[in-house]
Amino acid sequence: MPAWAEDAPAAVAAAADWLPVYPQISVNGRSADLPVKLLEQDKRLLVRAADLHALGIRIPAEVMAQAARVEAKEAPLADASPVPNLRMPSEKTEPDTPQAKEEWLDLASIGNLQTAYDSAEQTLLLTAPLSWLNLPLQQLGNAPEAAYRITRPGFAGVFNYDTNFTRNNNGGFTQGLVGEARLTTPWGYLNHTRFWNRSSGNGQNSNNSAALETYWRTTFPEKGLQLTLGDISVSALGGSGNTLMGGVKLAKTYSVQPWRNTAPLRAYLGETTLPGTVDLYIDGVKQQSRQIDAGQYSLPLPTGIGTDGTAQVVATDILGRTVVVDLPLYGNGNGLLAKGLNEWSIEAGALRRNYGVKSFDYASEAAASGNIRYGLSNFVTVSAHAEGARGYAKAGAGANILLGRAGQLNLTHQQSRFQGQTGRFQTAYYNKNLGDWSVGFGASRSDDRFTSLSAVLSPESYQPEGNRNRTASASLGWNNQTLGYFSLSYLFSEGGGESAEKIGTLSWSRSFGRRVSLSAGGSTNFGERKQNSIYGGLHISLDRGYAFGISGSRNSGEGNSKQISLSKSSNGLNSPYWNIGWQQQTRSDGQSSSNLTANIQYNTQYADTWASLHNAADNTQWSAGARGGLVLMSGGLFPARTVSDSFAVVDTGMPDVTVTAANNTVGKTNRKGLLLVPNLFAHQKNQIGIDTLDLPENIVADRTQSEIIPADHAGMNVKFKLKKVQSGTLTLKDQNGAFIESGSIITAENGENTIVGFDGESYLENLAAGENRFTVSLSDGQTCRFSLSYPETESSEIKQFGDVVCTP
Average the pLDDT over 628-654 and give the result.
93
Closest CA to 404 of 376, 382, 433: 433
Instruction: Report which of residues 750 and 8 the model is more confident about.
Output: 750
Query: What integer pLDDT is reported at residue 95 of this predicted model?
Result: 46
Average the pLDDT over 371-383 and give the result.
94
Query: What integer pLDDT is reported at residue 754 of this predicted model?
Result: 94
Report the DSSP pairing between strands 204-220 and 362-375: unpaired
Cα dihedral value 47, 53, 59, 64, nearest 10: 40
- Whether the pLDDT of residue 718 is over 90: the answer is yes
Percent of the chain with pLDDT over 90: 51
Report the DSSP pairing between strands 173-185 and 484-494: unpaired
Closest CA to 748 of 734, 733, 728: 728
- Whether the pLDDT of residue 190 is over 80: the answer is yes
Distances (CA, A) of 178 to 160, 443, 600: 8, 39, 21
Residue 634's pLDDT band, with cuts at 50, 70 and 90, is confident
Task: Name the residue type at position 141.
Answer: G
Residue 229 φ/ψ region, left for φ over 0, alpha for ψ in the -120 to 50 degree band, beta for the rest: beta
- Mean residue pLDDT of the chain comes to 86
**H/E segment holding residue 244:** strand 239-252
Query: What integer pLDDT is reported at residue 325 of this predicted model?
Result: 82
Angle at 186 between CA 185 and CA 188, to 5 degrees: 65
Q: 270-282 pLDDT, tens per residue?
A: 888 888 888 888 8
Closest CA to 748 of 723, 767, 728, 729: 767
Task: Name the residue type at position 552.
Answer: G
Is residue 762 within 8 A of residue 729, CB to CB? The reply is yes
Q: 649-666 pLDDT, tens per residue?
A: 999 999 999 999 998 889
Distance (Å, rounded) from C-alpha 269 to C-alpha 266?
10
DSSP conformation class of 353: -
Query: Could you tell me the fold of the domain covering 728-805?
Result: Immunoglobulin-like (2.60.40)
- Whether the pLDDT of residue 77 is over 70: the answer is no
- Whether the pLDDT of residue 374 is over 90: the answer is yes
Query: What integer pLDDT is reported at residue 496 of this predicted model?
Result: 72
One DSSP character per residue, 543-571 reads: GGGEEEEEEEEEETTTEEEEEEEEEE---
- Whether the pLDDT of residue 144 is over 80: the answer is no
Domain 267-329, CATH among 2.60.120.560, 2.60.40.3110, 3.40.50.12780, 3.30.1360.120: 2.60.40.3110
Query: What integer pLDDT is reported at residue 303 of this predicted model?
Result: 62
**H/E segment holding residue 66:** helix 61-74
Average the pLDDT over 790-797 and give the result.
77
Q: 17-63 pLDDT, tens per residue?
A: 678 888 898 888 888 878 888 888 877 888 888 888 888 888 887 77
CATH number of 3-134: 3.10.20.410
- Whether the pLDDT of residue 330 is over 80: the answer is no
Where do you find CATH 2.60.40.2070 in the chain? 728-805
Average the pLDDT over 493-511 and give the result.
88
Q: 595-617 pLDDT, tens per residue?
A: 999 999 999 989 999 999 999 87
Exposed/middle/buried for residue 49 (C-beta within 10 Å: 0-12, 13-18, 19+): buried
Query: What integer pLDDT is reported at residue 132 of this predicted model?
Result: 87
Query: Which of helix, strand or coil describes residue 98?
Result: helix
Instruction: Locate the DSSP E strands across 721-769.
Output: 722-724, 728-733, 745-748, 753-755, 761-764
DSSP conformation class of 141: S
Q: 537-561 pLDDT, tens per residue?
A: 999 999 989 999 999 999 887 789 9
C-alpha gyration radius of the chain = 39
For the ranges 212-226, 379-393, 495-509, 607-621, the lowest mean pLDDT is seen at 495-509
Query: What integer pLDDT is reported at residue 79 of this predicted model?
Result: 38
- Whether the pLDDT of residue 7 is over 60: the answer is no
Query: What integer pLDDT is reported at residue 581 of this predicted model?
Result: 96
**H/E segment holding residue 10:** helix 3-14
Distance (Å, rounded) from C-alpha 673 to C-alpha 695?
13
Average the pLDDT over 210-236 and give the result.
94
Closest CA to 396 of 452, 340, 349, 343: 452
Query: What integer pLDDT is reported at residue 288 of this predicted model?
Result: 81
Residue 401's pLDDT band, with cuts at 50, 70 and 90, is very high
Does domain 151-205+604-724 bear CATH number 2.60.40.2610? yes
- Whether the pLDDT of residue 761 is over 90: the answer is yes
Percent of the chain with pLDDT over 70: 90
